[in-house]
Amino acid sequence: MAELYLKVAASGLLIGTVYALIAIGLTIIFGVMRVVNFAHGEMVVMGMYLGYALWTLFAIPAIPAALIAAVVLFGLGVFLQVTVVSRFVGRPQHSQFILFIAFALVITGLHLMLMGPDARSIMAPISFETYSVGGLRLDAARVQAAATALVMILALIAFLRFTFIGRAIRAAADNPLGAEVVGIRSGRVYAITAGIGLACAGAAGALVSPLFDAQPFLAPEFTLLAFIIVIIGGLGSLTGALVGGLLIGVAEGFAALLINPAMKSMFSYGVLIAVLLFRPAGLFGGKEAR
Amino acid sequence: MTRNPALDRRTILKGAAAGAALSITPLRHVRAAGAPVKVGVLLPTSGVLAFLGQACRRGIDLGARMMAESGAPAMEILHVDTESKAEQGRVAAEKLIREGCSVLIGAFDSGTTISAAQAAEAAKVPLVVNIAAAPQITSQGFQYVFRNFPPGATLVYNAVARIKELSSLTGVAPKTAVLMHVNDTFGHAVAKGVDILWQKLGVPIEIVDTISYSRSAKDLSVEIGRAKAAEPDILMPVTRVNDAILIVRELVKQNVGLLGVIGPGSPGPYEKAFTDATGKYGDEYMDCVPWYDPTRDKTKRAIAAFADDYPDQRFELNVGFSYEAVEIVADAIARAGTGEPQALQAALRETNLQDHIMYGGPITFDETGQNTNIGGVLLQNQGGAPQVIGPAEIAVAKPVFPMTPFAER
């Protein structure tokens, strides 16, 4: 039984790292532009389909597929930001909400038209492989996904901290007017931020494609999951998203084991309510990624 | 103000009167003498059930082709998509009736079938149910509904009976089992049915744990971990195709040692999507479902024709029951000698098809419109495809039980 608990904890941490990458994509867009991407889950599913297609057509494994998905979704993020979303930054939240719901519906419709409603599973050896770590059998796809997600998260943190563009993004997040005054072009910064946000979602989607079968209807679940994690961690906080992701990953695993597997998602909401009761701004609320 | 000559008060009143007259006109079946009988088919060919709805459609189209080739009365098949929405059942049925259909076939899922049945009953047009398991479809006193598919209770009864026979079939007697089921209406109904029938039929296997999981589960590692901890001899998953795939993957990754995996009346493991995704690891998975009789010549011909039409698809129960629905309708038209709905309803009541493709006795309908002669088989995936391993009289393969450990495959 101890082995089972250990395995659940390890699996929770591993999948939680991928969840964190998804949530970081959402929180970075909100932190900089104060825009809530309600189509975030659709971007994750797009990444899943890319992962599926790259494996099925070219036998490209999940990790390189994640990099390709990140590039593709980065481009899509920049395109959407420049052509549509930029006109909605600063507008009332209800009009932003309608815009992103429209994105979500259009993307889901496209997924249905292009890929059909049935689940697409990757028939790769990794779907059945495990690593033995000190007598503990860990899912190979999960370990690889978590390791890649962690590297991406750390790379993103380093990018924001040590590069000129990263500092510009943080400056625009902290004080948009001040950033404009010192010559930072907010339009360009927003476009790069949107690209990064969607790249995180797309990469995470491709990373989980050997674990979860791609289906258009998964998107709302991913969107909700990202929201829960972001709210628990604190809106706009990268560290919060990482901690929130790990917390939800582990909590869901133990809820399934100790209470009822069908109540996994309900437990996530329980954690959310508990955090909001004691820390309304989230665990790392107000502490922006600087 | 200029007056629009085309739109004055009288015109509007005339239009309103015409609309009112139209709305109180009952749905009417119209058919030219000698014309093919219009058969309306309502299936979920888009939306979440599209994958299965399209499988049903393949069965309908194959049935129509083979009936035409066999010299059956001319039929014109009209398809309408129910979009995987229950409320679309009535809309689709009324549309087909309005277009002159004398008989309907559908509608795959129970909710849609019930709403279509209400429309068919109101219009006095027979509905032949190809697939739908809810008991109320034939327990509401409908006179125009005929179901050639087992209701949920029969489905589970046949499955439990097959599992009970397993030890006599294989000489291996499992002692314990874990029941896993998807947490939706279907999963709950089957799990509850298994629980009741387990006692009633005296199955000598103890169910040591019952694990339900979310319908939208993307990951079943914890659930399989919990099942493994109970150390059962057999695992009995009640699944759809996606979760069946997830279960197999986790069984392999967690190296769960089992005598067997047996789905009690569960969709999924016999589907091509499952065997394609799981490969050698999906082999030896068993399932107890209504299925075609592989020993009959008629079945062999249908399977061969299906392979010609759809080389990349599998002839499975959705195809088989849909094919049979067309056969039932063609038989009724031939005996009625007319396409009039009332005559077809009377002919359907007298149906007695001895030679047909699905396993079971002759196709007949009782006073509720239910065919009570449908059997259940024990399937096992072997070589990447489902094979009938029980009952013995129609078995085409020997059961592999205990199953080969995953690590040795």
Question: Chain B partners of A257 at a C-beta cutoff of 8 Å?
Answer: 222, 225-226
Strand, helix or coil for residue B341: helix
Optimal mutation site among B182, B183, B222, interface A, most CBs of chain A within 10 A: B222
Determine the angle formed by the axes of helices A186-208 and A40-58, rounding to 10 degrees. Answer: 50
Least Cα separation, residue B243 to chain A (angstroms) = 10
Contact B212 A262 (CB under 8 A): yes
For residue B223, give every residue at least 6 positions away whose Cβ sits within 8 Å of its Cβ, in sequence order, or none: A256, A261, B180, B211, B213, B217, B250
| Cα separation, B378 vs B284, whole angstroms | 12
Contact B276 A1 (CB under 8 A): no
Least Cα separation, residue B344 to chain A (angstroms) = 36
Greatest pairwise CA separation for chain B in angstroms: 94
Q: What is the rounded average pLDDT of the residues A214-226?
A: 90
Burial label, A278 (beta-carbon count in 10 A; 0-12, 13-18, 19+): exposed
A113-117 contacts, C-beta under 8 A, 24 or more apart: A114/A49, A115/A49, A115/A214, A115/A216, A116/B50, A116/B51, A117/A215, A117/A216, A117/A217, A117/B46, A117/B47, A117/B48, A117/B49, A117/B50, A117/B51, A117/B84
Q: How confident is the model at residue B164 (pLDDT cuts 50, 70, 90)?
A: confident
Residues B379-390, buried b or exposed e (16+ Cβ, 10 A)? Answer: bbbbeeebbbbb
Indicate the helix (H) or strand (E) that contains B203.
none
Contact B254 A137 (CB under 8 A): yes
B214-225 pLDDT per residue, tens: 877 888 988 999
| Cα separation, B276 vs B59, whole angstroms | 21
Q: How far is CA B33 from CA B36, B128, B340, in A?
A: 9, 23, 10
Question: Chain B partners of A116 at a C-beta cutoff of 8 Å?
Answer: 50-51
A·B CB contacts under 8 A:
95
Question: Chain A partners of B225 at a C-beta cutoff of 8 Å?
Answer: 4, 7-8, 257
Contact B229 A15 (CB under 8 A): no
Neighbouring C-beta atoms of residue B202, cutoff 10 Å: 8
Contact A1 B229 (CB under 8 A): yes
Least Cα separation, residue A163 to chain B (angstroms) = 37
pLDDT of residue A288: 45
| Cα separation, A28 vs A11, whole angstroms | 26
| Cα separation, B111 vs B106, whole angstroms | 11
Q: Residue B380 corresponds to which amino acid?
A: Q
B138-161 pLDDT per residue, tens: 998 999 999 999 998 888 998 898
Determine the angle formed by the axes of helices A238-258 and B221-229, rounding to 10 degrees. Answer: 30
A239-263 pLDDT per residue, tens: 999 999 999 999 988 988 888 777 7
Cβ–Cβ under 8 Å, residues B263 and B245: no
Residue with tokens 């495809």: B385
Residue B26 has pLDDT above 50, yes or no: no
B185-231 pLDDT per residue, tens: 778 888 988 999 999 989 999 999 999 988 778 889 889 999 999 99
Which residue in B190, B228, B183 sits closest to B209, CA to CA? B228
Contact B229 A129 (CB under 8 A): no
Least Cα separation, residue A272 to chain B (angstroms) = 20
Residue with tokens 């979009």: B83
| Cα separation, B46 vs B191, whole angstroms | 29
| Cα separation, A76 vs A199, whole angstroms | 9
Contact A117 B221 (CB under 8 A): no
| Cα separation, A283 vs A269, whole angstroms | 15
| Cα separation, B211 vs B180, whole angstroms | 5
Percent of chain B surpassing pLDDT 90 = 71
Least Cα separation, residue B285 to chain A (angstroms) = 16
Which residue in B298, B303, B325, B300 sits closest to B314, CA to CA? B303
Q: What is the rounded average pLDDT of the residues A118-131?
A: 84
| Cα separation, B170 vs B400, whole angstroms | 8
B322-338 pLDDT per residue, tens: 999 999 999 999 999 99
Mean pLDDT over the full length of chain B: 89
Indicate the helix (H) or strand (E) that contains B106.
strand B103-106
The shortest CB-CB distance from A253 to any of B217, B222, B246 is to B222
At CB < 8 Å, which residues of chain B contact A? Answer: 46-51, 84, 183, 211-214, 216-223, 225-226, 228-229, 241-242, 245-246, 249, 252-255, 273, 276-277, 279, 281
- Do the bridges between strand A136-139 and strand A130-133 make them parallel or antiparallel, or are there none, so unpaired? antiparallel
Contact A261 B212 (CB under 8 A): yes
Q: Which residue of B has its CA nearest to A211?
A: B219
Optimal mutation site among B178, B188, B214, B408, interface A, most CBs of chain A within 10 A: B214
Least Cα separation, residue A191 to chain B (angstroms) = 32
For residue B124, give every residue at least 6 positions away whose Cβ sits within 8 Å of its Cβ, in sequence order, or none: B144, B341, B342, B345
Least Cα separation, residue B333 to chain A (angstroms) = 36
